[in-house]
């Protein structure tokens, strides 16, 4: 494997936007190019982080407060940064992460009830202020996300409409975060085909990695 340049790349966006699809395709592309890379998903990626993931995803934990949830995400992320992301960057890997702290900011501050400044501050602490070099925001609207999830799109029942209001705040949050962090963010129109989205991503990655 040739060792070109360490780079930290994250994927952000709503569920069903195509993050996991594109993260996997990028990982495969880099492997094909013989560039050392690692693909991670949040929450998880270390023994401790996977245990935290199980707590977060347990449907029985209905009493979990938004703050506890955020702290658990942050703890999982903190362990992942120290144990996996930083060591791999040191060894010259391209680290690809399917979601990172922008998701906490979008879902729990913009979408939820937590103070934006507090979330940003904990994000910094949890990651030792390790920022991605590139963040791809795969931009699809909540309506489009709902239609991909097999929902009926425009005809929403009461529950779905409530969810839609939440996802709308999250979506606007991602857009706001992208606007405030223009140096690292690349906004990709996620309504195009998988191949079109990938080619847009590869254009940026090739340029940054000088492939």
Ligand X SMILES: Nc1ncnc2c1ncn2[C@@H]1O[C@H](COP(=O)(O)OP(=O)(O)O)[C@@H](O)[C@H]1O
Binding site for Mg ion (CB under 5 A): 20
Q: How far is the CB of 178 from Mg ion (least distance, A)?
A: 19
In the bound state with Mg ion, the residue whose beta carbon lies nearer, of 122 and 170, is: 170
Q: Which stretch binds ligand X (CB under 6 A): 12-20, 49-57, 63-71, 203-211?
A: 12-20
Helix (H, G, I), strand (E, B) or coil at 190: coil
In the bound state with ligand X, the residue whose beta carbon lies nearer, of 33 and 192, is: 192
Considering the rule CB under 6 A, would residue 19 count as an interface residue with ligand X? yes
Q: What is the DSSP letter of 96?
A: E
100 binds, among Mg ion, ligand X, none (CB under 5 to 8 A by kind): none
Binding mask 144-163 for ligand X (x = CB under 6 A): ----x---------------
3-state helix, strand, coil in the chain (%, to 5): 55, 15, 30
CA-nearest of 176, 43, 159, 186 to 110 is 176
Which of 4, 21, 29, 144 binds ligand X (CB under 6 A)? It is: 21
Considering the rule CB under 6 A, would residue 143 count as an interface residue with ligand X? no
In the bound state with ligand X, the residue whose beta carbon lies nearer, of 93 and 136, is: 136
Q: How far is the CB of 96 from ligand X (least distance, A)?
A: 13
Find the helix or strand (DSSP H, E) in which 174 lies: helix 158-180
Which of 65, 113, 154, 193 binds ligand X (CB under 6 A)? It is: 193
Considering the rule CB under 6 A, would residue 198 count as an interface residue with ligand X? no
Which of 72, 197, 201, 205 binds ligand X (CB under 6 A)? It is: 197
> What strand order describes the sheet that includes 185-189?
37-41, 94-98, 7-12, 134-139, 185-189
Question: What φ, ψ does residue 13 adopt, rounded to 5°?
Answer: 145, 175
Angle, to 10 degrees, between the axis of helix 47-57 and the axis of helix 66-80? 160
Considering the rule CB under 6 A, would residue 18 count as an interface residue with ligand X? yes
Whole-angstrom distance, CA of residue 100 vs CA of residue 84: 14
- Which residues, other chains included, contact 208 with Cβ-Cβ below 8 Å and sequence gap of 6+? 7, 133, 134
Question: Which residues are near ligand X by CB under 6 A?
Answer: 13, 15-21, 148, 190, 192-194, 197
């Amino acid at each position: 494997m040739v060792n070109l340049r360490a780079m930290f790349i994250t994927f952000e966006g709503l569920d069903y936007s195509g993050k996991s699809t594109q993260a996997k395709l990028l990982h495969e592309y880099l492997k094909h190019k013989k560039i050392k890379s690692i693909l991670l998903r949040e929450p998880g990626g270390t023994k401790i982080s996977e245990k935290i993931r199980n707590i977060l995803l347990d449907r029985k934990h209905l009493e979990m407060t938004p703050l506890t949830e955020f702290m658990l995400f942050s703890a999982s992320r903190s362990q992942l940064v120290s144990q996996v992301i930083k060591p791999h960057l040191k060894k010259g890997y391209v680290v690809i992460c399917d979601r990172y702290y922008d998701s906490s900011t979008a879902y729990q501050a913009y979408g939820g009830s937590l103070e934006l400044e507090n979330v940003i501050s904990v994000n910094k602490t949890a990651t030792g202020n390790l920022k991605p070099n590139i963040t791809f925001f795969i931009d699809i609207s909540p309506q489009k996300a709902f239609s991909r999830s097999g929902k009926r799109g425009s005809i929403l029942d009461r529950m779905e409409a409530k969810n839609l209001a939440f996802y709308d705040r999250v979506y606007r949050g991602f857009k706001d975060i992208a606007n405030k962090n223009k140096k690292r963010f690349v906004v990709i129109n996620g309504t195009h085909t998988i191949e079109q989205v990938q080619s847009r991503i590869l254009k940026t990655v090739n340029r940054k990695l000088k492939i």
